[in-house]
Amino acid sequence: MVQRVLRKSTYDYYVVCDGGKDKRGCYGSYHIYRDDKIVVEESQYNYPALSTNNEAEYMALIRALERLLQVKGSHTNILVISDSELMVNQLLGYFAVRADRLILLHGTAKELLNQSDSWYLIHVPRKVIERILGH
Question: Of 39, 26, 125, nearest to 78 (Cα)?
Answer: 39
| 121-to-1, 4, 13, 22, 93 alpha-carbon distances in Å | 34, 26, 12, 25, 11
Q: What is the pLDDT of residue 3?
A: 43
Question: Of 10, 9, 14, nearest to 80 (Cα)?
Answer: 14
The stretches in the chain having pLDDT less than 70 are: 1-9, 45
Q: What is the pLDDT of residue 135?
A: 76
Q: In what order do the strands lie in the sheet with 118-123?
A: 37-45, 25-34, 13-22, 77-82, 118-123
Measured torsion, CA atoms of residues 40, 18, 86, 121, in degrees rounded to the nearest 10: 30
DSSP state at residue 75: -
pLDDT, tens digit (0-9, with 9 covering 90-100), for 12-49: 999 999 999 988 889 999 999 998 899 988 887 677 78
Q: What is the pLDDT of residue 9?
A: 61
DSSP state at residue 51: -
Return d(Cα 43, Cα 33) in angstroms, integer.
15
Instruction: Look up the pTM and report it.
Output: 0.89
Instruction: Provide Rg for the chain, Cα atoms.
Output: 15
Q: What is the pLDDT of residue 131?
A: 93
Q: At the topology level of CATH, where does 13-133 sit?
A: Nucleotidyltransferase; domain 5 (3.30.420)
